[in-house]
């Protein structure tokens, strides 16, 4: 039972934001970027651009609202989960559990950092002229 609860906590923490994450774009910025992409790829007319941008803004705002609600819900569940676990665990187990979480978070951040470095390296290689 405890193992399954720990597994749930670990899985749910995968959705936690990294502290060094780049700033999130606003729904308007996302809509503009998507509209620019669609304009380029689909050769939209000026009239279409205006309508597509309006549609993209509407759905980007709705998606952003839903994402925030989901994040709040997950955080509330995480908090409740921790509170219930701490009612059952001994002080020594709580200390060990907290240390396990720190180690997991450290590994996650290291993995994210490696991925970001790899992504940057790939982008640099793509922008360099080939010989």
The pLDDT tens digits of the residues spanning 41-88 come to 999 999 999 999 999 999 999 999 999 999 999 999 999 999 999 999
Q: Judge if pTM exceeds 0.75.
A: no
Secondary structure in 3-state letters for 33-76: HHHHHHHHHHCCCHHHHHHHHHHHHHHHHHHHHHHHHHHHHHHH
The pLDDT tens digits of the residues spanning 87-120 come to 999 999 999 999 999 999 999 999 999 999 998 8
In the numeric block, which tokens belong to residue 43?
A: 């050769």
| Cβ-Cβ contacts under 8 Å for 88 (sequence gap 6 or more) | 2
In the numeric block, which tokens belong to residue 131?
A: 């010989």
The pLDDT tens digits of the residues spanning 13-52 come to 544 444 456 678 999 999 999 999 999 999 999 999 999 9
Through-space distance between the first and last CA atoms of the chain, rounded to whole angstroms: 59
């Amino acid at each position: 039972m405890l193992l399954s609860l720990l597994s749930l906590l670990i899985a749910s923490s995968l959705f936690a934001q990294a502290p060094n994450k780049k700033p999130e774009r606003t729904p308007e910025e996302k809509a503009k970027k998507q509209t620019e992409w669609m304009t380029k790829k689909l050769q939209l007319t000026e009239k279409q651009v205006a309508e597509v941008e309006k549609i993209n803004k509407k759905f980007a705002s709705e998606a952003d609202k839903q994402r925030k609600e989901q994040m709040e819900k997950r955080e509330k569940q995480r908090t409740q989960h921790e509170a219930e676990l701490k009612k059952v665990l001994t002080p020594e187990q709580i200390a060990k559990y907290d240390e396990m979480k720190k180690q997991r978070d450290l590994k996650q951040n290291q993995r994210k950092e490696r991925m970001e470095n790899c992504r940057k390296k790939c982008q640099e290689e793509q922008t360099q002229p080939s010989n």
